[in-house]
Amino acid sequence: MKYPLRISLCGFGGQGIVLSAVILGTAAVTKGNKYVVQTQSYGSEARGGQCQSELIIDEKPINSPIAEKKNVLIALFQDAYEKYIPALEEDGILVIDPDLVTNIVRPVETTFELPATQIAVDIGNRMTANMVVLGFLSECLGIINKDDLLEVVKDNVADRFKEINTKAVEAGIEYAKEHNMYHRS
Amino acid sequence: MPKKKASKERVLSGVHFMLGNYATVEGAISAGCNYFAGYPITPANEISERMSQRLPQVGGKFVQGEDELCSVFSLAGAALAGGKVMTATASAGYNYMQEGLGYCYAIEAPMVIVDVQRTRGDNFASQADVYQMRYGASGDYEAIVVCPSSVQELYDYTIWAFNLAEEYRNPVIVMSETTIALMRERLDIPTADKIELYDRRYTKKTPDEYHPFEALANQCPEAAPIGEGYHTIYSLNPHDEYGNIDWDPIVFDNLYKRVTGKITENADKICRTESYMMDDADYAIVTYGSEFRPSIDAVETARKEGIKLGVLKLCNVWPVPENAICEVAGNVKKIFSVEMNLGKYVREIERASKNKCEVVSVTKNRGFVHTTDEIMTEIRKGVL
């Protein structure tokens, strides 16, 4: 990967946006020996409302915690997509859930359509769409090693949800493989 | 001052990806904190939340106060009973603590208070409490305020704050704020044997020989164990070395000069600063807390543009690191004071600079730390 990676994950409250950012950051720091800064913004609603989490991942300590331009944007909801797309670099990578982001206002050359919510519904739990995304990012972008990711996921979810979340990560990986969706720089 | 190493059972040694508020708690637990009382307020709630889990694991006590005032007063009691104590709040909650905090300064109760500064009414970042932390309570006293700039420093400086509180028998404020408190970042927690702690200095005198507020001009008095016959009145009112309330002007004078003198006369020992690229600098940023982070990036940008910029980071703002600021002022053409408010601490920087160079105030109070570009815009204007 080319560092620093400046990632924005956005959607609506309840999709597990912040948890997926925390898992990604934890894996990068504790397994990948990287430096990571993670911040978030969300409304006061427990469900609904826009939610966004930012990650900066680098091989050296990170100074300014604000990255005005992102090189990866993952959008799981139309409103959030529209709010955060202006911050994506011209040559950035866009990952969208095509069922929830239906109106593309700014075409981006490197766009991956990942029906994360439908995949999560198909394996039995809509709430695991965030884990589908993490699996996809691991395979498609190579941000994090699959085994490391699975280990951190298990550490960060309740016992009774470990199996379904593991399944969701693997489904995300499989989707990238099946559709030959790769972008490794 | 008696020193010892941190207790192994309290230190989560290793590499973590941790929330700033949690790192503050881990710093406190590593430092030996065994009592916490606090009242909920964002963005400090994760401190209470984690304290309520961690303190029982290490034999400590967690109390949710009925309000901020109750919390800080209960710290006074717990501290005098021998506890290493902490509370956490955020700007508006820190307002409410001032009466109790004034009492704690007067009776010389060691404690750590975390103020996770925020904007009025919401959760956005700010450094607008920098004067409140110094002058919030009534009366003559000196504040010690440490200013972490990262999750790592929230851990490290909270330990430092506990050590300062014990060494000087004074409340010590950890100046946190939304930027770092609600940020997750890499945290390297060392092994317990690498963490040095200062223990309270207890008297060796008998209860008959012990004078509870007797101390040299620049020192704090020795503590005495509670419940072993060392009867002491801990009063906000003027008191003599025996702890007797006395309205004699000479008693006033002696007490307040000693309570302030133990900090002012040890300011050089207390103050810490760090210099970055200052050796050949023509211009300097003087800053504190999270504003240090974009300032470091500004140095890299400025140097690429041929501007010899350096940074003086203030690890604590109170007492003012006067000598370090004065030295920088004597070596550069201009100082840029960068802070996340509309220009407060710049007055201290101007004063400490003693007119040796011009001081430019770079301010922002829009809920977020400066970006590097915003700082560079002011630097470029300033070096024209």
Give B294-331 pLDDT, tens digit per residue: 999 999 999 999 999 999 999 999 999 999 999 999 99
Give how far A25 is from chain B: nearest CA, Å: 7
**Mutation choice for A interface testing from B184, B291, B340, B364 by most A CBs within 10 A:** B184
Tally C-beta pairs within 8 A across A and B: 55
> Given B16, B182, B186, which is nearest A39 (Cβ)?
B182
Give the Cα separation of B251 and B297 in Å (integer): 52
At B1, is the pLDDT very low, low, confident or very high (cuts 50, 70, 90)?
low
Picking from A40, A47, A41, A52, the residue whose alpha carbon sits closest to that of residue A11 is A52
CATH number for the region B272-383 comes to: 3.40.50.920
Q: What ranges do the domains of chain B cover?
A: 3-198, 272-383
Does residue A47 have a pLDDT over 70? no
At A50, is the pLDDT very low, low, confident or very high (cuts 50, 70, 90)?
confident
Give the Cα separation of A24 and B126 in Å (integer): 28
**Residue B319, preceding bond cis, omega within 30 degrees?**
yes
State the average pLDDT for chain B. Answer: 96
Q: Which two tokens stand for residue A12?
A: 């609506």
Tally of residues, chain A: 185
> Given B184, B297, B368, which is nearest A63 (Cβ)?
B297
Q: Which two tokens stand for residue B141?
A: 């006293």
Picking from B376, B360, B357, the residue whose alpha carbon sits closest to that of residue B307 is B376
Does residue B371 have a pLDDT over 80? yes
Give contacts of A7 with chain B, Cβ < 8 Å: none
Give Cα B1 distance to the centre of its chain. Answer: 20
Sign of CA dihedral A170, A171, A174, A179: negative
| B293/A64 touch (CB, cutoff 8 Å), yes or no | yes
pLDDT of residue B207: 96
Does residue A44 have a pLDDT over 60? no
Q: What pLDDT digit, counting tens, does each position of B202-248 carry?
A: 999 999 999 999 998 899 999 999 889 999 999 999 999 999 999 99
Give contacts of A34 with chain B, Cβ < 8 Å: 186
Q: What is the mean pLDDT of residues B156-181?
A: 97
- Please tell me if the domain spanning B3-198 has the same topology as the one spanning B272-383: yes
Residue whose tokens read 């050796």 = B279
Looking from the CA of B177 toward its CB, the CA atoms found within 13 Å total 29
Beta bridge partners of B14: B189
Q: Please, what is the Cα angle at B115 between B111 and B119, to 5 degrees? A: 165
- Which CA distances in Å does B4 have to A47, B9, B30, B32, B254? 48, 15, 12, 11, 33
Q: Is B177 helix (H, G, I), strand (E, B) or coil?
A: strand
Residue whose tokens read 């889990």 = B53
What share of chain B has pLDDT > 90, as a percent? 95
| A22/B185 touch (CB, cutoff 8 Å), yes or no | no
Based on C-alpha coordinates, what's the Rg of chain A? 15
| B186/A26 touch (CB, cutoff 8 Å), yes or no | no
Chain A residue at shortest CA distance from B299: A63
Q: What is the mean pLDDT of residues A37-64?
A: 85
Beta bridge partners of A10: A52, A75
| B373/A68 touch (CB, cutoff 8 Å), yes or no | yes
pLDDT of residue B153: 98
To which CATH superfamily is domain A5-178 assigned? Answer: Pyruvate-ferredoxin oxidoreductase, PFOR, domain III (3.40.920.10)
Give how far A37 is from chain B: nearest CA, Å: 5
Q: What is the mean pLDDT of residues B82-110?
A: 97
At B121, is the pLDDT very low, low, confident or very high (cuts 50, 70, 90)?
confident
Give the Cα separation of B139 and A143 in Å (integer): 56
Strand blocks (E) in chain B = 3-5, 14-19, 35-38, 61-64, 85-89, 111-117, 144-146, 171-177, 184-189, 196-198, 273-276, 283-288, 309-314, 316-318, 334-339, 358-363
Q: Which burial class, exposed, middle or buried, applies to B254 when counting CB atoms under 10 A from its CB (0-12, 13-18, 19+)?
A: middle
Picking from B282, B310, B32, the residue whose alpha carbon sits closest to that of residue B163 is B32
| B17/A68 touch (CB, cutoff 8 Å), yes or no | no
Picking from B263, B253, B255, the residue whose alpha carbon sits closest to that of residue B219 is B263
At A184, is the pLDDT very low, low, confident or very high (cuts 50, 70, 90)?
confident
| A36/B186 touch (CB, cutoff 8 Å), yes or no | yes
Q: What is the mean pLDDT of residues B285-292?
A: 98
Give contacts of A30 with chain B, Cβ < 8 Å: 15-17
CB-based contact A1:A143 (threshold 8 Å): yes
At A143, is the pLDDT very low, low, confident or very high (cuts 50, 70, 90)?
confident
Residue whose tokens read 């709040």 = B89
Strands B316-318 and B144-146: antiparallel
In chain A, what is the straight-line distance between the N-terminal and C-terminal CA atoms, in Å? 5
At A78, is the pLDDT very low, low, confident or very high (cuts 50, 70, 90)?
very high
pLDDT of residue A48: 67
pLDDT of residue B165: 98
Q: What is the mean pLDDT of residues B329-343?
A: 98
Give how far B372 is from chain A: nearest CA, Å: 7
At A45, is the pLDDT very low, low, confident or very high (cuts 50, 70, 90)?
low
Sign of CA dihedral B151, B157, B162, B165: negative
User: Phi/psi class of residue B361: alpha, beta or left (left: φ > 0; alpha: ψ in -120 to 50)?
Assistant: beta
Strands B309-314 and B273-276: antiparallel
Q: What ranges do the domains of chain A cover?
A: 5-178
Enter the pTM of the model.
Answer: 0.96
| Sheet arrangement for strand B144-146 | B61-64, B35-38, B85-89, B111-117, B171-177, B144-146, B316-318
| B293/A39 touch (CB, cutoff 8 Å), yes or no | no
CATH 3.40.50.970 applies to domain B3-198:
yes
At A46, is the pLDDT very low, low, confident or very high (cuts 50, 70, 90)?
low
CB-based contact B23:B151 (threshold 8 Å): yes
